Structures are given as structure tokens and as C-alpha cells.
Amino acid sequence: MRLAIASDHAAFALKSALMPWLQAQGHEVDDLGTHGPDSVDYPDFGHALGMAVASGAAARGIALCGSGIGISIAANRIAGCRCARVDDPLSAALARQHNDANAIALGARLIGEEMARACITAFLNTDFEGGRHSARVAKLDAQPPKREEA
């Protein structure tokens, strides 16, 4: 599977550890940065990951920052990217089964390398369930409703 992976400086070490593991499993991995531990802005890397997934350049995405929160928000600003911030294999599997997530975000300061691997494995090996979830996911991808004036 072709994957995109991106991180900020807080998750650079985790990204560096995960990439060879993903490649050893036969995945093609596009490293969207950052490429070092110097301070950077996570929105830039979340945007790049969201674009890669939404455009189809990557089948799935893995976003990493200190908490996983900021980069997931940035990725989700791109229409067509459904990035779920997860902490454990169950939340990663449910993100795929029920929400057809095409990207996950992990917090490098919150989980270790082994838990990150377990989350990614669940995410990559779980299929979207479809059925009753399909209409809900379609609403996620639809244009948001207009806000009424207060």
C-alpha cells in the first residue's frame, strides 16, 4: 500500500523509527517531512498529508505530532481527508470500520513506538464496514451546511 507519513519536530524521532518498519512490511512510504528535529509548524505537514490522501497520491496517511491533535486538525481541513486521532488499536480499527478514516494521527509524546505500531497495524488491516455507516461518511465529505445568522 502507498502511504504518506508526516510529522512535526516533536514526532520526528517516532516517524524515523516507523518508516523502516512500514517499508519492511512492503509499503511504499512517502515521507512528507519534517526531515529533522528543528522546530517547525505542524499545520504545514498536516496540510501536506491531507492533500496527499485526498488527491489519491497515497491510499492512507499517518500524521504525527506531539499530541496528535494539531496535525489531525490541519489534515482534516482538506476536503476528502478523514483523519482520526487515535491512542490504541481499538480506536484505530473503529476509525476504519465506522468512519472510513483514510488517515490517522498519533501523539508521539503520549504513546510509545510499540503502541504506535499496534495502532497503525489495526488501521491498515481493517476495512470500512459500509452499510449504515456509508451515509454518515458521505455527510462528512459533503459541503458543510451554511451557518445561519444569529
Q: List pLDDT tens digits, range 98-149.
A: 999 999 999 999 999 999 999 999 999 999 988 888 888 888 877 665 556 5
Does the structure show a pLDDT above 90 at 27?
yes
pTM higher than the cut 0.75: yes
Nine-digit cell at 139? Answer: 455527510
Helix-strand-coil percent breakdown of the chain, rounded to 5?
A: 45, 15, 35
Active site residues: 65, 98
Which segment of 30-34, 62-66, 130-134 scores lowest on mean pLDDT? Answer: 130-134
Q: Where are the beta strands (DSSP E) in the chain?
A: 2-7, 28-31, 60-65, 83-85, 103-107
Which amino acid appears at position 124 of this protein? L
Nine-digit cell at 112? Answer: 510509545
